[in-house]
Amino acid sequence: MNASNKAAIARPELTIKRIFDAPKELVFDCWTQEKHMAKWLFPKDFTLPFSQSDVRAGGSYRSCLRAPDGTDHWLGGTYRELTPHDRIVFTHAWQDEAGNADHETVVTITLKDLGDGRTQLTFHQEFFLSEASRDGHAEGWKEVLDNLERYLAP
């Protein structure tokens, strides 16, 4: 495959790195336990009126994010990989209320212990259809990670 063919099929990707003042076991738990997820896993000024997840490889999740104007945004996906305290891989797709989706991306969360109770989180999302979609997701995920930082604060 020549370089121009590779460029033609390349899809935009998103990578965000954050350092949290929390042990990686707790950061992992925040991504995998509903008691934690319900408190931070949504963008700024949004609420989470519905969330259900079966956090295991092959398990699925579905959530409703309610915007400040009252608009509901449904999303869901499937967990592909869970390596305790190190890595989470899941699909992410915007859905209609009935659960139908047109396109899904893949999210990979990687955690690294930095010592002294600090954790580096690398968030990677791939297979976007456009740069505009990637950029919109980047803003939302940055707000979500800001929420996680506040949630983990002592």
Q: Of 3, 20, 14, 13, nearest to 148 (Cα)? A: 20
Phi, psi of 20 (to 5 degrees): -115, 140
Assigned domain for 4 exists: no
Quote the pTM value.
0.92
Does the residue 5 lie in any domain? no
CA–CA gap between residue 42 and residue 134 (Å, rounded): 17
Give 154's pLDDT tier (boundaries 50, 70, 90): confident
Domain membership flag for residue 2: no
Which residues lie below 8 Å from residue 142, measured CB to CB, with a gap of 6+?
Answer: 16
SS (H, E, C) the chain: CCHHHHHHHCCCCEEEEEEECCCHHHHHHHHHCHHHHHHHCCCCCCEEEEEEECCCCCCEEEEEEECCCCCEEEEEEEEEEEECCCEEEEEEEEECCCCCECCCEEEEEEEEEEECCEEEEEEEEECCCCHHHHHHHHHHHHHHHHHHHHHHCC
pLDDT tens per residue, range 10-37: 899 999 999 999 999 999 999 999 999 9
Does 3 fall in a domain?
Answer: no
In this prediction, residue 4 has a pLDDT band, given cuts at 50, 70 and 90, of very low
CATH of the domain at 130: 3.30.530.20
Q: For residue 74, tell me if it sits in a domain.
A: yes
Number of domains in the chain: 1
**pLDDT above 90 coverage of the chain, percent:** 93
Output the six-digit token pair for 93: 């797709």
pLDDT in tens, 81-119: 999 999 999 999 999 999 999 999 999 999 999 999 999
Domain span at residue 131? 11-152
